[in-house]
Amino acid sequence: MLSRTADHLFWMSRYIERAENLARLLDVTWQMSLVPQSLDAANQNWNAIIALNSLEVAYAKKYSEITAENVLRFMVSDADNFASIHSCLRMARENAHAVRGTITTEMWETLNSTWLEAREKSFEQLLNAGIGEFFEWVKMRSSLSRGTTLGTLLQDKAYHFIRLGTLLERADNTARILDVKYHVLRPQGDEGATDFYQWGALLRSVSAFEVYRKVYRDAITPERVAELLILRDDMPRSLHFCMNGVVKNLDLIANSHSGETQRQAGLLHAKLHYARVEDILEQGLHEWLTDFMDHIYMLGDGISKDFLAPMAEAA
């Protein structure tokens, strides 16, 4: 397969996954903000979203203060913000357009109509209709595109690059959500009603609330949440699950110079496979997650160098 084609497929799936995860993150923050809390605490949550995406400068150019509405507007429908849901859906569509002969008609139609519908929605409309509904819509469209991929695409290299993009992006995003929210929640630690709602919202944001109940049949504790989202290999949004898929798909596309990238992926995978949550928490969850995200970034870089970016062997 052409490197450029692989690149478009990889980024097409990353952008759609990113839009979904952004919707999840904004949704949980939105829901948490509905529970009574101090104005400071609320602003801190919204601020974290901007900081998380390193968008402080771009944000400051447009808005003088952090408010729920400003952050939502900036992250949901601002076409100038390349990291907004709007931009992610546009880029997912553009990447799909560039390879529409490689993906199936159903996949193309799904991404194309997602973008066309998203373009029609104004932020004011979204606010009035309840922004939560929009987040649900984004998640459903992402599920739909994953479903059409699974249901229609030949499982050749194109498929492996798409899965690789999806899982790498998801690993990064689950780590981010956990890092941001765990931080906010941890210090309070008193198992009051507020805390319960906050943890519940976090779990729901990664579709893990029911899973948690099923797995632990017990009260929600920060340790178990961390364990679920990091180490459970049967939980589709956990880091371990994602890395299983990354390693597997990487093996299926391997070429003569991708050995080092495969080794790095294997190492990161082993870390999850053999880890204990107690050790991770003892090391400090934030430190551990930061390290993990650094490795994910390096992995993306390695994939890009080995497979996607032309190697400039031109005469």
Contact between 130 and other proteins per CB under 8 A: no
Contact between 112 and other proteins per CB under 8 A: yes
Contact between 109 and other proteins per CB under 8 A: yes
Contact between 175 and other proteins per CB under 8 A: no
Contact between 120 and other proteins per CB under 8 A: no
Residues 288-307: x/- map of binding to other proteins (CB under 8 A)? -------------------x
- Per CB under 8 A, the list member of 108, 135, 182, 199 interacting with other proteins is 108
Which residues lie below 8 Å from residue 145, measured CB to CB, with a gap of 6+? Answer: 16, 92, 107, 110, 111, 114
Please report which helix (H) or strand (E) contains residue 190, including its range: none
- Per CB under 8 A, the list member of 1, 52, 127, 277 interacting with other proteins is 1
Burial zone of 218 (CB within 10 Å; 0-12 exposed, 13-18 middle, 19+ buried) = exposed
Which two tokens mark 12? 């097409």
Contact between 101 and other proteins per CB under 8 A: yes
Residues 69-98: x/- map of binding to other proteins (CB under 8 A)? -------------------------x--xx
- What part of residues 261-290 is at the interface with other proteins (CB under 8 A)? none
Report, in Å, the least distance between residue 308 CB and other proteins.
8
- Per CB under 8 A, the list member of 111, 235, 268, 308 interacting with other proteins is 308
Return the sign of the alpha-carbon dihedral for residues 271, 277, 279, 280.
positive
Contact between 213 and other proteins per CB under 8 A: no
> Residue 128 or 255: which CB sits closer to other proteins?
255
Q: What is the DSSP string of 272-294?
A: HHT--HHHHHHH-HHHHHHHHHH
- Rounded CA-CA distance 72/289 in Å is 25
Which residues lie below 8 Å from residue 15, measured CB to CB, with a gap of 6+? Answer: 88, 89, 91, 92, 95
Contact between 153 and other proteins per CB under 8 A: no
